[in-house]
Amino acid sequence: MSNQITLSINNQSISVPAGSTIMEAAQKLGVSVPHFCWHPGLSIAGVCRFCMVKVEGMPKLQIACNTPATEGMKVDTVSAEVKDAHKWALEFHLINHPLDCPICDQAGECELQNYYMKVGKYQSQMEDEKVLKPKALDVGDTLVLDTERCILCSRCVRFEDEVTKTSTLGIFNRGDQATIGTYQGRKIKHNYSYNLADICPVGAFTAKDFRFKCRVWFLKEAKTVCPGCSTGCSVNLFQNSNQREYYRLKPRHNAEVNGHWMCDTGRTMYEHLNASTRLSAPLLNGENVTFHAALQAVSDATKSVSADKVAVVFTAQFTSEEYSAVLNSLKTTLKGTPKVFVWREETETEESFDGILFRGDRNPNTRGMTEVLKQESVGASILKGDFSALANAGAELTLVFGPEVESAYPSLAKALSRFVELKKSVYFGNTLNEVAKKFWLRIPVKTFAEKSGTFVNFNGVAQKLKANPPVYPAVKAVDEYFADLGKLAQSAV
Partner 1 sequence: MASFFSPALNEKIKGFLGRYETRRSSILPILHAIQDENDWISKEAVQALEAEHGLSVVDVNEVLSFYTMYRKTPPKAYRLEVCGSISCWLNGADKTISTAKDYIAAAEKSGKPVPFECHKVECLGVCGYAPVALVNKDRYLNVTPDAAVKLIEDYSNKDLPAAAKKCAADLAAAAQKP
Partner 2 sequence: MAFVNVSRDPERNFKNGYLATSLVGMGTTLVTFAKQVFGLEESNTVQWPEVEFQYSERFKGAHFLTKRPDGRVRCTACFLCATNCPAQCITIVAGESPDKGVEKYPVRFEIDILRCVFCGFCEEACPVDAIRMGPEYSMAGLAEQKWVYTKAYLLDREAVQRKVGEKQVSKKDENTKHDTVESSLPGVHAAHSGHDH
Partner 3 sequence: MPVMNSPYMGRQPSEFKILTELEGVPNSRSLDVYKEHGGYAALEKVLKGGMSPDDVINLVKASGLRGRGGAGFPTGMKWGFVPKPAGEKYLITNFDEGEPGTYKDRYIAELNAHMLIEGKIIAAYAIGASKSYIYLRGEFYDEIAWCEQAIKEAYDAGYLGDNVLGTGFKHHMDVYVGAGAYICGEETGLISSLEGKKGQPKLKPPFPAVKGYLGKPTIVNNVETLAAVPWIIRNGAEAYKKFGTEKSAGTKLFNISGPVVRPGCYELPLGYPLKRFIYEDCGGLIGGKKLKAVIPGGASAPVLTAAEIENMTMDYEAFAAAGTMLGSGAVIVIPEDVSMVHVLENLMHFFKDESCGQCTPCREGTGWLLKMSRDIVNGDGAPGDAEKIADVAGKMMGRTICTFSDAAAGPARSIPQKFAHEFLEFYKNKASAAHAQG
- When CB distances are held under 5 to 8 angstroms depending on the partner's kind, the choice from partner 3, partner 2, partner 1, none that residue 215 binds is partner 2
Strands 143-145 and 205-207: antiparallel
- When CB distances are held under 5 to 8 angstroms depending on the partner's kind, the choice from partner 3, partner 1, partner 2, none that residue 168 binds is partner 1
- Establish if 175 lies at the interface with partner 3 (CB under 8 A): yes
Measured from the CB atom, the residue of 60 and 335 that comes closer to partner 3 is 60
Measured from the CB atom, the residue of 35 and 438 that comes closer to partner 3 is 35
- When CB distances are held under 5 to 8 angstroms depending on the partner's kind, the choice from partner 1, partner 3, partner 2, none that residue 45 binds is partner 3
- When CB distances are held under 5 to 8 angstroms depending on the partner's kind, the choice from partner 3, partner 1, partner 2, none that residue 169 binds is partner 1
Identify which of 164, 160, 199 has the alpha carbon closest to the alpha carbon of residue 357. 164
Q: Which of 25, 33, 151, 420 binds partner 3 (CB under 8 A)?
A: 151
Q: Binding residues for partner 1, per CB under 8 A?
A: 167-174, 182-184, 186
Instruction: Give whole-number Cα distances, 155 to 47, 87, 489, in Å.
Output: 10, 22, 59
> Alpha helix (H) ranges present in 200-344?
264-267, 291-303, 320-334
Instruction: Give whole-number Cα distances, 30 to 22, 73, 212, 238, 416, in Å.
Output: 12, 17, 34, 26, 53
- When CB distances are held under 5 to 8 angstroms depending on the partner's kind, the choice from partner 1, partner 3, partner 2, none that residue 50 binds is partner 3
Give the sign of the dihedral formed by CA 216, CA 219, CA 220, CA 224: negative
Measured from the CB atom, the residue of 173 and 411 that comes closer to partner 2 is 173
Q: Measured from the CB of residue 139, what is the shortest distance to partner 1 in angstroms?
A: 13
- When CB distances are held under 5 to 8 angstroms depending on the partner's kind, the choice from partner 1, partner 2, partner 3, none that residue 229 binds is none
Measured from the CB atom, the residue of 45 and 235 that comes closer to partner 1 is 45
Q: Which of 15, 28, 74, 92 binds partner 3 (CB under 8 A)?
A: 92
Q: Measured from the CB of residue 167, what is the shortest distance to partner 1 in angstroms?
A: 6
- Establish if 119 lies at the interface with partner 3 (CB under 8 A): no
Instruction: Outline where DSSP puts E strands in 430-480.
Output: 441-443, 453-456, 462-465
Residue 6, C-beta contacts closer than 8 angstroms, at least 6 positions apart: 13, 14, 15, 71, 72
Measured from the CB atom, the residue of 276 and 388 that comes closer to partner 2 is 276
- DSSP per position, 98-163: ---GGG-TTTTS-HHHHHHHHH--SS----SPPPP---SEE-SSSEEE-TTT-----HHHHHHHHT
Contact 301, 397 (CB under 8 A): yes
Contact 457, 232 (CB under 8 A): yes
Instruction: Give whole-number Cα distances, 35 to 93, 115, 358, in Å.
Output: 12, 9, 30
- When CB distances are held under 5 to 8 angstroms depending on the partner's kind, the choice from partner 2, partner 1, partner 3, none that residue 246 binds is none
Measured from the CB atom, the residue of 178 and 305 that comes closer to partner 1 is 178
- In the complex, the residues that contact partner 3 under the rule CB under 8 A are 44-50, 52, 60-61, 66, 68, 84-85, 88-89, 91-93, 95-96, 125-126, 128-129, 131, 151-152, 171, 173-178
